[in-house]
Structure 1
């Protein structure tokens, strides 16, 4: 049950976020000082929610993540590299 709740919460956050086409320039832009959140930090955050991260790639200034939870629900998520903030999430 916990896994279903975590999956629902992650997807709800992703669905509430604007689509990448609408806001990607702002959320995925580089910071002035060049600092970014490490991909390993994004991975640790998802692992803490019960996901196994299959792949993290950098695309258009964001991390694009593919992950699967312990119940087998696969997701694709997009995180801003500068803040580590979830920009978008959806089921694969």
Structure 2
């Protein structure tokens, strides 16, 4: 019974710490915003802004068809970790 309670307590405390580790990268390991902009422009995006949000890069842009996009990127790998689009 003690083991079960201890396990539940550890998961309750540690669980939230793992929930938002997507962009948990020390700033000295971040790539510059210009690198993300260059990557997105090579994919046909017209970048309007790139800002830091919750430890991630958040880019607002238009795709090749003029559709507005918002996407979140890991600042170390520049890989997408979430996106939102607006159809109208």
Query: What TM-score comes out, normalization by structure 2 length?
Result: 0.69
Deviations 1:25-64 (A, max 9, x none): 2221023x82111111111111011110001010111001
Higher relative contact order (CA 8 A, sep 6+): 1
Structure whose alpha-carbon radius of gyration is higher: 2
Distance (whole Å) between structure 1 residues aligned to residue 38 and residue 19 of structure 2: 23
Query: What TM-score comes out, normalization by structure 1 length?
Result: 0.66
Flag structure 1 segments of 5+ consecutive residues without an equivalent: 1-22
| Structure 1 runs, 4 residues or longer, greater than 6 Å off | none
Corresponding residue for residue 25 of structure 1: 20
Aligned Cα root-mean-square deviation (Å): 1.9
Q: Counterparts in 2 of 1:1-92, with a 5 A limit?
A: 25-31=20-26, 34-92=28-86
Where 2:65 maps in the other structure, the secondary structure is coil
Q: Which moved more, 1:33-42 or 1:56-65?
A: 33-42
Aligned length in residues: 69
